[in-house]
Amino acid sequence: QSELTQPPSASGTPGQRVTISCSGGSSNIGTNTVNWYNQLPGMAPKLLIYSNSQRPSAVPDRFSGSKSGTSASLAITGLQSEDEADYYCAAWDDSLSGWVFGGGTKLTVL
């Protein structure tokens, strides 16, 4: 069982906006920043969002992140077929002195 809770699946049609939630607790999201990764089939994970809402330079601005309290969310606007992937949230956990990941959300572009 993951320390961070994500919905197992999400879907949308091309051009739509979708959001993926990530729920944690006071020792992880409540205290530390959240990072998001996506993983295309058969590939290594890739950093998508760091420090709650910052995008690496190569990530399109269609991707955005936010955090409130002990929850975070990833939003994808203008959904494209190549966005079909697994998405993971992660945060440092002060109680565990380690990183915790969400269980992952499989995004399907219909």
Partner 1 sequence: QVQLVESGGGLVKPGGSLRLSCAASSFNFKAYYMSWIRQAPGKGLEWLSYISPSGTTIFYADSVKGRLTVSRDNANNSLFLHLDSLRAGDTAVYYCARGGIAVPGAAAFDIWGQGTMVTVSS
Asked whether 33 and 52 are in contact (CB, 8 A), the reply is: yes
Written as six digits, the tokens of 62 are 């269609």
Q: Which stretch binds partner 1 (CB under 8 A): 16-24, 32-40, 62-70, 73-81?
A: 32-40
A 10 A CB-CB count for 69 gives 10
Q: Which stretch binds partner 1 (CB under 8 A): 9-17, 41-49, 60-68, 72-80?
A: 41-49
Minimum CB separation of residue 49 from partner 1 in Å reads: 8
Minimum CB separation of residue 41 from partner 1 in Å reads: 11
A 10 A CB-CB count for 110 gives 10
- Contacting residue, 72, 85, 100, 109, with partner 1 by CB under 8 A: 100
Asked whether 89 and 75 are in contact (CB, 8 A), the reply is: no
Q: Determine whether 24 is exposed, middle or buried from the number of CB atoms within 10 Å of its CB (0-12, 13-18, 19+).
A: buried
Establish if 96 lies at the interface with partner 1 (CB under 8 A).
Answer: yes
Establish if 101 lies at the interface with partner 1 (CB under 8 A).
Answer: yes
Q: What residue ranges bind partner 1 (CB under 8 A)? A: 2, 32-33, 35, 37, 44-47, 50-51, 56, 86, 88, 90, 92, 94, 96-104
